[in-house]
């Protein structure tokens, strides 16, 4: 399966009336994860997040595609 670049956030069992809500729920949780951390601590948390999620995805072809997009224009 190729890397999914379409909106894909949802929480099982939750009903959404506005298309932006699941993405906003995710984004708030993400920012909240970094609350009160120093820049260095945040960088470490991000690194751990990437590793955790990468393992969950598992498929190296998908991960390589994501890595390539992430590096573009940086």
Minimal distance, residue 67 CB to other proteins, in Å: 14
Minimal distance, residue 16 CB to other proteins, in Å: 10
What value, to the nearest 5°, has the Cα angle with vertex 14 and ends 8 and 29? 65
Of residues 55-74, those binding other proteins (CB under 8 A): 69, 73
Q: Are 42 and 50 in contact (CB under 8 A)?
A: no
Minimal distance, residue 8 CB to other proteins, in Å: 6
Among 1, 2, 6, 71, binds other proteins (CB under 8 A): 6
Residue 14 sits in the site that holds other proteins (CB under 8 A): no
Q: Are 58 and 51 in contact (CB under 8 A)?
A: no
Q: Could you tell me how many residues make up the chain? A: 74
């Amino acid at each position: 399966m190729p890397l999914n670049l379409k909106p894909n956030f949802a929480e099982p069992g939750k009903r959404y009336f506005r298309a932006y809500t699941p993405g906003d729920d995710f984004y708030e949780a993400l920012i909240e994860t970094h609350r009160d951390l120093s820049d260095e601590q945040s960088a470490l948390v991000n690194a751990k997040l990437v590793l955790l999620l990468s393992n969950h995805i598992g498929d190296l072809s998908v991960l390589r595609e994501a890595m390539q997009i992430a590096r573009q224009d940086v």
